[in-house]
Amino acid sequence: MNTTLLISRDEFLAHWQGHRTLTRHTLERFPEQDLFTYSIGGMRPFADLIKEILSIAVPGLEGIVHHKTEGYSHDLNLNSKAELLAEWDKQTEQVNELFKQIPDERFHEDFNLFGEYNFPIYQNLLYFVDNEIHHRAQGYVYLRSLGIEPPFFWDR
């Protein structure tokens, strides 16, 4: 087992916040109406995907930091693009604050995230980012299909 460092905690946080910047830009591109109604193949509209991301990032970190294993709810009361963007920006600060409260030694300890996902904390953190990239990419297809250019993938 080679445990040489590949990504440090500060590098991971910068990586995550870079992705969060790109997801915010993707959200900005959506016309208000399409954000809440447009979908393909029976999938959720992009507003619902953003709410899922918002209901995982900060609530997940709060669970980890405070050892709480309550479930999540994706049904957030956010009903306009402006409200989604405001909540996004609020979480940007909270992510920084909460992340730094995770003690170094906990990253490789198991934690039962939301009372359902019992994995080492570093894997839970990778999941937050993977899930965001996955849903944002769905948003890219919605935008293209609406004739709107998505942000450049490097735009973080």
Is residue 71 close enough to count as binding a copy of itself by CB under 8 A? Answer: no
> Measured between alpha carbons, how far is 154 from 66 in angstroms, rounded to an integer?
34
Sign of the four-CA dihedral 74, 71, 54, 153: negative
Cα 86 from Cα 92, distance rounded (Å): 10
Residue matched to tokens 């996004």: 88
Provide the β-strand partners of residue 58. Answer: none
147 binds a copy of itself (CB under 8 A): yes
- 5 sits near a copy of itself (criterion: CB under 8 A): yes
141 is a site residue for a copy of itself (CB under 8 A): yes
135 is in an annotated binding site: yes
Under the criterion CB under 8 A, does residue 8 sit at the interface with a copy of itself? yes
Check: CB of residue 114 under 8 Å from CB of residue 63: yes
Q: Which of 65, 78, 85, 126 binds a copy of itself (CB under 8 A)?
A: 126
Least distance from C-beta 84 to a copy of itself, angstroms?
20
Judged by the rule CB under 8 A, the positions of this chain that interact with a copy of itself are 1-12, 15, 19, 40-43, 104, 107, 122-123, 125-126, 130-131, 133-138, 140-147, 153
